[in-house]
Chain A
Amino acid sequence: AQTVTQSQPEMSVQEAETVTLSCTYDTSESDYYLFWYKQPPSRQMILVIRQEAYKQQNATENRFSVNFQKAAKSFSLKISDSQLGDAAMYFCAYRSAYYGGATNKLIFGTGTLLAVQP
């Protein structure tokens, strides 16, 4: 079974600085998707960035980028120029690329709570 591990329960960053959130996963599959979701306090969970395992190039979305190391099964999120609005719980998630049944589900890590200091 696949697992996702986020070893940093809490992180803190100064406004305008850069922070990296860690995520490792375990799988025997070769094709899959990885995601970072952001959940602000009492607000909706939203997708930040996604990475297809077959793509070697790291995904980037504005100030958010990932460092995807397939051999090491590592998928870290880098937030550049941190803003107060980035404060949230961040979840790393895995999903198989094989279609059908339970493979549709997302498997989540336990989350990293990011605080942004002004």
Chain B
Amino acid sequence: DVKVTQSSRYLVKRTGEKVFLECVQDMDHENMFWYRQDPGLGLRLIYFSYDVKMKEKGDIPEGYSVSREKKERFSLILESASTNQTSMYLCATRTPVSFGNTIYFGEGSWLTVV
């Protein structure tokens, strides 16, 4: 089974703090994603990465950056957290075409910015 682990399930941070959300996958997948989930808006893509040190902006990248120094780890960074970044953050990975080309999610990180 594909395992996607988000190390922090619940975080409370202050406005202006730098926040790191970590995601690790154990299947050597090339593609990894960060989504943000908000009620009534569904899931929106923040950033994705298709290999080590390779990244592309998604639909809502403003206020976020990412880091992928190793294949198994994809980090989402909030340089200066703001209250409108209070949300659920979901990391995901995609299996290769030969394994179904399917996206699997981590359990999510609930971030509250006060």
Binding site for B on A (CB under 8 A): 4, 9, 33, 35, 37, 43-47, 50, 91, 95, 99, 101-102, 104-106, 108-111
Decide yes or no: A104 and B94 within 8 Å by CB, A33-B101, A47-B104, A50-B102 being known contacts. yes
Q: Once the chains bind, are A104 and B50 in contact (CB under 8 Å)?
A: yes
In this complex, how many residues of chain B approach chain A with their Cβ under 8 Å: the count is 25
Binding site for A on B (CB under 8 A): 31, 33, 40-45, 48, 50, 56, 58, 90, 92, 94, 97, 100-108
Q: Once the chains bind, are B56 and A101 in contact (CB under 8 Å)?
A: yes
With a cutoff of 8 Å between Cβ atoms, the chain B residues found around residue A50 in the complex are: 100, 102
Decide yes or no: A110 and B102 within 8 Å by CB, A44-B107, A101-B56, A102-B56 being known contacts. no
Kindly report which residue of chain A lies nearest to residue B4, judged by CB atoms: A44
Decide yes or no: A45 and B102 within 8 Å by CB, A105-B48, A105-B58 being known contacts. no
With a cutoff of 8 Å between Cβ atoms, the chain B residues found around residue A44 in the complex are: 105-108
* Choice from B33, B40, B104, B106 contacting A105 with Cβ under 8 Å: B33
Decide yes or no: A45 and B56 within 8 Å by CB, A105-B48, A108-B42, A109-B42 being known contacts. no
With a cutoff of 8 Å between Cβ atoms, the chain A residues found around residue B43 in the complex are: 91, 106, 108
> Can you list 9 A-B pairs, Cβ within 8 angstroms, ordered by A?
A4-B42, A33-B101, A95-B103, A101-B50, A102-B56, A102-B58, A104-B33, A108-B43, A108-B44
CA distance A109 to B108 in the complex (A): 18
